[in-house]
Chains A and B, each alone.
Chain A
Amino acid sequence: MGRSHAVSEANENGGRVRYLLKRSGALVVTLWIAITVNFVLPRLMPGNPVETMFARYQGKVSPTAMHAMQLDFGLNTKTGELGQYVDYLRNVVSGNLGVSFSYYPARVSTLIGETLPWTLGLVGFATILAFLLGTGLGMFAAWRRGTAGWKRGSIADSGLVPFGLLLGALPSFWISLILLYFVAFRLGWFPVGGGVAAGVGLLTGPGFVSLINHAALPAITLTLISMGLWILLMRNNMLSVLGEDYVKFARSKGLHDRTVAVHYAARNAVLPVFAQLALALGIVVGGQVFIEIVFSYPGIGYLLLNAVENQDYPLIQGIFLIFTVALLLANFLADAFYVLVDPRVRVGARQ
């Protein structure tokens, strides 16, 4: 009948690898841009970090020590802006993010290193939980609506959408306050703040329990906040998919409803999610900062607030950089994962 139109597996995989390489290249470029912006930003703002520092430490340290500090902060007034930029680039790449003003002489990277694990644990756990719950509910609602009998739409769907919207509209700091008051303070089910009970070793048994105890409310709050988006996204994706021909055809093959729902509808509905991950992560990051603040949870968001209040520019810059890098990496990974998972992405391969 005709010549083969199928593309060999090897060619397809080659196309995918090339795509990933291209994306890695883009990632590096974007990282560079982010670092540059991070460098430029504080220098555009009113207020002069050098002066601030001078004002703070004037008269308390010798001029040589002062100059040493200036170098530490990358504020070498002798080399000028471009020199500082080059130094900054070099420092960042080697992991040197400078020294904190307010926690002097603690290094920024140390401070971040101490607080980042707390945040990562919280965010990681909450994101996964929110994703699972949210997509599950969203799919369920869409399935009920798509296969509703004679009703206009199912109750599950009609109720779930406003619920998802409500969750997305809840200010994270407000929900934190409410939960803090009612659940922690009044009911005493969870501690009223902090990351772990004072004086307890983290790696011990009781230490671990205390850890979970303290992280519980922040985690619940963060999960609640981020769930809304997943519910809505997944529900919409699923509805789109249910209208597709292959779902109709699958049912005409006499497959069980469950099979169609999972292997045909859900599998296709999940794919666009990776593209929407950026939005979800933005919400999680935003929520997490406020949650840490309200619960006094020793994460990087809490550190950011302190840095901001103390006008600790190196620390602010360092934290911002970490946020940016983390988000870029997460998006890149999501992108890469999508390419591997969707067989239709045939970049570079020819028909």
Chain B
Amino acid sequence: MSALLEIRGLTVGYGWSSPPAVTAVRDVDLTVRAGEVVGVAGESGSGKSTLAFAAIGLLDPPARVLSGSVRFDGTEVTTMSREELRQMHFQSASMVFQASMNVLNPVTRIESQFRDAMAAHGVSSRDEARRRAEEAFDLVKVPRRYLDAYPHQLSGGMRQRAVIALALVMRPKLLVLDEPTTALDVVVERAILQSLNELRGELGFGVIFITHDLSLLVEIADRIAIMYAGRLVEEAPARELYENPKHPYTVALMGAFPPLAGERQRLSGIPGQPPDLRDLPPGCPYAPRCPSFMPGVCDVIDPPEVIIDGSRRVLCHLYGSVEASRD
């Protein structure tokens, strides 16, 4: 499978000054293949959403790409014109936001919100648009009649499904989901994720799934990337990350989940605070909170990216130089 999305060395800044005051994403590499689910986990301010927005060219001022490349289906996104981006959105790559009360236009019916998006991408016949919209609703298991309703008439779960339907109606190749189920209760969340999985099987799109809920990713993602303070600190196949986390931050995150079965464990939070992105200390951003902190190394030198077992990456001094490949 060739790569659907290739991000190399991406750095995104945020702010009006030059250079900008905040580096939201720093030197991130990430690859997504067709049909693959890549989860991106991190706390607020880790840069995960910024990464996702940059990946499909949706960055709004004052955020902007400072360096690096994003290749979607072979084409460089960072240098696309506004018109090219506009065409790419919705048709080739779609974004699903958290379906808050306000994510759909409150004063127009849902069908017309399908229709105007489709019209902007070549589907001008009303009947054709209606047909596709109905198909999309069938896919996400929402009754067709809700196409004629206003957004406020749908429950939260249904709205989220409607937003997913909207994102899928032109059969895009890549779906970026930003905290899609955070505001929903677990039962609804489970149902939606299941639908999403089935759809992926049917339609074969690639997925970037952003969330702060690592436990969720462990269940649904093929690979998981962990972000901290704008850097991608670990990436691995989901199972391996769960069973054998390498980066101290990942280890700490894992320790924060209670398992449903098994003995009662001591849960640990992570002491300290995430760093102020305007004022990053030199070296590794996690150093101040890291139990494996090595003075003179971690607070001075940038951590190297180490490849382990061919398919895993860790950004940490503990694992030595780039060529090391021990377990």
Contact = CB atoms under 8 A, between A and B. Distances in A.
Given A1-B191, A2-B155, A254 B105 contact: no
Contacts of A253: 89-90, 116-117, 120, 166
A254 B158 contact: no
B117 A254 contact: yes
A189 to B, nearest CB: 44
B102 A246 contact: yes
B105 A263 contact: yes
A16 to B, nearest CB: 14
Interface residues of B, number: 44
B146 A6 contact: yes
Contact of A245 (B90, B91, B102, B108): B102
B75 interface: no
B120 A254 contact: yes
A341 to B, nearest CB: 8
B120 A256 contact: yes
Nearest to B16: A152
B300 interface: no
B111 to A, nearest CB: 13
B61 A254 contact: no
B88 A249 contact: no
B58 to A, nearest CB: 6
Interface stretch (A17-25, A101-109, A131-139, A264-272): A264-272
A342 interface: yes
B106 interface: yes
Contacts of B90: 252-254
A264 B105 contact: yes
A4 B153 CA distance: 9
Interface string B58-76: 1011101000000000000
Contacts of B16: 150, 152
Interface in A4-29: 4-7
A245 B103 contact: yes
A6 B157 contact: no
Contacts of A252: 58, 89-90, 94-95, 97
B157 A1 contact: yes
Contacts of B85: 254
B150 A343 contact: yes
B80 interface: no
A250 B91 CA distance: 14
Interface in A188-202: none
Contact of B102 (A244, A263, A343): A244
A310 interface: no
Contacts of B104: 246, 249
Nearest to A255: B120
Contacts of A4: 143
Contacts of B94: 252
B100 A5 contact: no
B116 A263 contact: yes
A116 to B, nearest CB: 36
A268 B90 CA distance: 23
A204 B150 CA distance: 52
A60 interface: no
Interface string B78-119: 000000011111110011010010111111100000001100
A275 to B, nearest CB: 15
Interface string B114-151: 00110011000000000000000000010101100110
A5 B155 contact: yes
B152 interface: yes
A264 B112 CA distance: 11
Contacts of A259: 116, 120
Contacts of B102: 244-246
A248 interface: yes
A342 B149 CA distance: 13
B322 interface: no
Residue from the set B60, B86, B105 with the largest chain A CB neighbour count within 10 Å: B105
A149 interface: yes
Residue from the set A251, A271, A346 with the largest chain B CB neighbour count within 10 Å: A251
Contacts of B117: 253-255
B154 interface: yes
Given A245-B97, A256-B120, A1 B141 contact: yes
B88 A254 contact: yes
Interface in B249-302: none
Contacts of B120: 253-256, 259
B153 A6 contact: yes
A250 B60 CA distance: 13
A350 interface: no
A343 B150 CA distance: 7
B173 to A, nearest CB: 14
A254 B106 contact: no
A271 B89 contact: no
B155 A255 contact: no
Interface string A148-192: 111010000000000000000000000000000000000000000
B116 A7 contact: no
Nearest to A244: B102
28 contacts: A1-B141, A2-B155, A4-B143, A6-B145, A150-B61, A244-B102, A245-B97, A249-B95, A249-B97, A249-B103, A252-B89, A252-B94, A253-B89, A253-B117, A253-B120, A253-B166, A254-B85, A254-B117, A254-B120, A255-B86, A255-B116, A255-B117, A264-B105, A267-B105, A271-B107, A343-B106, A344-B106, A344-B152
Given A2-B158, A256-B86, 11 more contacts: A1-B141, A1-B158, A4-B143, A6-B149, A249-B95, A252-B90, A255-B116, A264-B105, A343-B107, A343-B152, A346-B152
Interface of A: 1-2, 4-7, 148-150, 152, 244-246, 248-256, 259, 263-264, 267-268, 271, 342-344, 346
> What 6 A-B pairs have minimum CB-CB distances, sorted nearest first?
A254-B89, A254-B90, A253-B117, A245-B102, A6-B153, A245-B103
